[in-house]
Structure 1
Amino acid sequence: MHALRTMTVALLLATGAVATAAPAPAQEAFFSSLKPLCGKAFAGKVTVDNAPGGDFANKPLIMHVRQCGERAIRIPFHVGEDASRTWVLTKTDTGLQLKHDHRHRDGSEDAITQYGGHTQETGWAQVQSFPADGATKEMFVREGIPQSNGNTWQFYHYPTVFTYRMVREGREFRVDFDLSQPVPTPVAPWGSE
């Protein structure tokens, strides 16, 4: 039986009869919904932080939907004068992937960068979740922050608000951005010039 299945799959691949993999319709809709925001920036505020007083306290927060391609959208997230963070949302053959690109002022990569996850469920046209992937978990252990292995990042996109949320056991952080009032675009993120 196994040999028959293997031969059938090989035949289908050879004849091109297998449909190419693609994100689910809800994931495609979510990705496409961000494209009208391209080139615009929006102010945000921390709405949930059960460990307050960190890097985000009392600083202006700006998201800038800076680059929108067919497969990837780059969204720098500015925290005050800190332009080190960029969210990279990428379409894959099986869903959506979120990575956090962290850079130093000189453009070099931070020790903790390119972390994130891949969708494991279809999600909704307005909400997508990204549980930490294997490479991210390995990096968190290597960098001495194993408690972050349980991270799930979420994007919410509604007509007047975009939300970035990170949750894990005992920790929640959320920033809401007001899409009804674009703000001046900030400087380019570190490493992009």
Structure 2
Amino acid sequence: MNISFRHAVPLLLLAALPLCPAAARAEAPADTFMAALSRYCGQAFAGQVIHNTPASATPDPFEGKALVMHVRGCDTPAQELRVPFHVGDDHSRTWVITRTAEGLRLKHDHRHADGSPDAVTLYGGDSDGAGTAQRQEFPVDAASVAMFQAQGMTASLRNTWALQLEPGQRMIYELSRPDGRLFQVAFDLRTPVPLPPAPWGSD
């Protein structure tokens, strides 16, 4: 095949150009999700329970309480985000979202007021498949199942958690089970609220 010098020069120049990473590889949904959430670093948002079924026979710890999420731990936002979830004066809960080689990991860090770990803490799971830039689901992992079994928490053995992010609108935290259990809290991302106290056990 004959290629004229006039046509060969542009081809050689094109071949010499470095590939743009964005063009060579589409951004993984996990990275897009982390980047979108990290834009709210340093801000807090009020939430409300939008699903809680079936109704519990025991007093609901969330009923009548101010619910606030605070995107606080942002030292390495591409790799880990720590998001305390405050329930009234209870500052024991922090969601820890970590980038893994395969996707994302969600863990629940539970502390007492003196900062010591709760007997049930750091439970959660790894994302189910790639997920999407807006929604990541986390089936319970083996370590969490073992913890729940040791504590007699049989209802939690088939937990799946999810985080759903609608940038500029809301974020939803979700717990579901195959038996029909569905718990969701929606946080309004349109209007930041005053920052809550630091979560228990933090600096």
TM-score category, normalised to shorter length = 0.7 to 0.9
| CA deviation vs aligned residue, 1:147-187 (integer Å, no higher than 9, x gap) | 21110000000021000000002311000000001000100
Q: Distance in 2 between matches of 1:173 and 1:120?
A: 19
Q: Distance in 1 between matches of 2:38 and 2:97?
A: 12
Q: Residue 116 of structure 2 contacts residue 201 of structure 2 at CA under 8 Å; is this kept in 1? A: yes
> What is the identity percentage for the equivalent residue pairs of Structure 1 and Structure 2?
49
Q: Residue 45 of structure 2 contacts residue 189 of structure 2 at CA under 8 Å; is this kept in 1? A: yes
Q: Distance in 2 between matches of 1:76 and 1:63?
A: 6
Deviates more, 1:36-45 or 1:62-71: 62-71
Aligned pairs for 1:35-184 (under 5 A) are: 35-50=38-53, 51-52=55-56, 53-68=59-74, 69=76, 70-159=78-167, 160-168=169-177, 169-184=179-194
Q: Distance in 2 between matches of 1:119 and 1:58?
A: 31
TM superposition outliers: structure 1 runs of 4+ over 2 Å: none
| CA deviation vs aligned residue, 1:30-66 (integer Å, no higher than 9, x gap) | 1111111000000000000013541101100000000
Q: Distance in 2 between matches of 1:74 and 1:146?
A: 27
Q: Distance in 1 between matches of 2:180 and 2:150?
A: 21
| CA deviation vs aligned residue, 1:81-105 (integer Å, no higher than 9, x gap) | 0000000000011110000000000
Asked which structure has the greater CA Rg, the reply is 2
SS where residue 181 of structure 1 aligns?
A: coil
Q: Distance in 2 between matches of 1:35 and 1:124?
A: 16
Match of 2:7 in 1: none
Residue 146 of structure 1, CA deviation: 1.5
Q: Which has the higher strand share?
A: 1
State the one-letter code of the partner of 2:125: G
Can you give the 5+ residue segments of structure 1 that lack an aligned partner in the other structure?
A: 1-23
Residue 120 of structure 1, CA deviation: 2.3
Q: Distance in 2 between matches of 1:146 and 1:31?
A: 31
Asked if 1:186 corresponds to 2:199, the answer is: no
Match of 1:25 in 2: 28
Q: Distance in 2 between matches of 1:124 and 1:95?
A: 10
State the one-letter code of the partner of 2:128: Q
TM-score normalized by the length of structure 1: 0.86
Residue 67 of structure 1, CA deviation: 1.3
State the one-letter code of the partner of 1:58: G
Match of 2:12 in 1: none
| Matched residues, number | 170
